[in-house]
Homo-oligomer: A and B are copies of this chain.
Amino acid sequence: MAETRATDDVRYAGIDIGGTKIYTLITTADGTVLGSGRKKTKSEKGFEGVMERVGKCLNEACEDADVKAADLRAIGVGAPSPILPDGTAVHAPNMPGWQNVPLVPALAERLGRPVYAENDVNAGTLGEYTLGAGRGARTLVGLFMGTGLGGGIIYRGELVTGENCQAAELGHMILQVDGRRCGCGHRGCLEAYASKSGMGRRFNYEIGMLGRPSRLEELWEEKDYSNVKSSVLQTCWEAEDELVRETLGEACRYLGIGAASLITALGPDRIVLGGGVFEALGTELLPLVESAAAAHTHPPGSFQDTRFVLAELGDDAVALGAMVHAREAAG
């Protein structure tokens, strides 16, 4: 069947541009990974410097997959910025010089193939929806707890980017009016409680100021706990460290209440929990999130229609989601 073979031959690339590394996957149309590439971002080289690194990373991945870049049907990119319909990256706090930069035009010219870009967390959510823990769902909310708290929404198959192309910043929904200060400058954001940076502020206060004992003191040598590795949190959790258990419990309670508000507003049938903290401690933490959500959803019965699951794609989520985005856009 020539048609089938023709489809089988189509190749895509998905590129995850992060603050520290660039990660590229070459895939078939159904998302099977044929090869990968990985390069340091070297974001200090500025926008053009990063674009050059993206090109090198794509070549590395193509070589690994034994695919010519010129044969790619389309290239999807996930970047840590809102992306406008014309492919402009509006602002990426971790990327020096990324202020209204022409991300898609620059890459399309450099790579010679059609390029489509999306915000990285949105891409990761789309990846889980299409190829991961969201398969079979109609409406999905993704919540990713790492340094920050990233979020994405798929409403009946469509990625919700908002009329402003900047929506689904779910870590900055406000759950505690006049509450804890968040990195964004506001107070009481979900991220101020349910993220490593938010938990770190509590660790700094409880250990540094109140002298509360915690195994974190031996396991984390820096004086600043605002970005403790997830593996260290895991070790402390498993050692039943009281402060870490309390703080992760609080984070999960807030995350569950945030999820409840999203169920109350949007009625998703699936909520995917991912990010470094859930990769390390997902089976322990998922029930905490779920029970807090169950206790705060309105009307109470509506909670039963939403299933909570752990993300499945790990580090591949953004690149795979970017590939799905490109596949849908390019046809």
- Residue of B173, B267, B299 near A264 (CB, 8 A) is B173
Q: Which residues of B contact A260 (CB under 8 A)?
A: 174
Of all chain B residues, the one with the shortest Cβ separation from A161 is: B267
Report the minimum CB–CB distance from A295 to chain B (whole Å): 8
- Interface segment among A37-45, A164-172, A321-329: the answer is A164-172
Given A169-B298, A184-B298, A189-B298, are A153 and B265 also a contact pair (CB < 8 Å)? yes
User: Does A219 lie at the interface of the complex (its beta carbon under 8 Å from any beta carbon of B)?
Assistant: no
Given A163-B267, A264-B170, A265-B170, are A177 and B299 also a contact pair (CB < 8 Å)? no
Q: Which residues of B contact A212 (CB under 8 A)?
A: none
User: Does A285 lie at the interface of the complex (its beta carbon under 8 Å from any beta carbon of B)?
Assistant: no
Q: What separation, in Å, do the CA atoms of A253 and B158 have in the docked complex?
A: 32
Interface size of A by CB at 8 A reads: 52
Does B163 lie within 8 Å of A265, measured CB to CB? no
- Residue of B162, B177, B269, B304 near A266 (CB, 8 A) is B162
Given A175-B177, A260-B174, are A166 and B299 also a contact pair (CB < 8 Å)? yes
User: Does A331 lie at the interface of the complex (its beta carbon under 8 Å from any beta carbon of B)?
Assistant: no
How many monomers of this protein are in the complex? 2
Does A265 lie within 8 Å of B167, measured CB to CB? yes
Report the minimum CB–CB distance from A257 to chain B (whole Å): 5
Of all chain B residues, the one with the shortest Cβ separation from A303 is: B164
Does A265 lie within 8 Å of B173, measured CB to CB? yes
- Residue of B168, B266, B295, B304 near A167 (CB, 8 A) is B266
Given A166-B302, A302-B164, A305-B164, are A174 and B267 also a contact pair (CB < 8 Å)? no
A-B complex: 7 closest residue pairs judged by Cβ atoms: A162-B267, A167-B267, A172-B298, A164-B305, A163-B269, A173-B261, A166-B302
A positions within 8 Å CB-CB of B: 82, 91, 138-139, 151, 153, 155-156, 158, 160-170, 172-177, 179, 184, 186, 189, 253-254, 257, 260-269, 295-296, 298-299, 301-302, 304-306
Question: A165-B267, A166-B299 are known contacts; what are 4 more A-B pairs with Cβ within 8 Å?
Answer: A162-B263, A164-B263, A167-B267, A169-B302
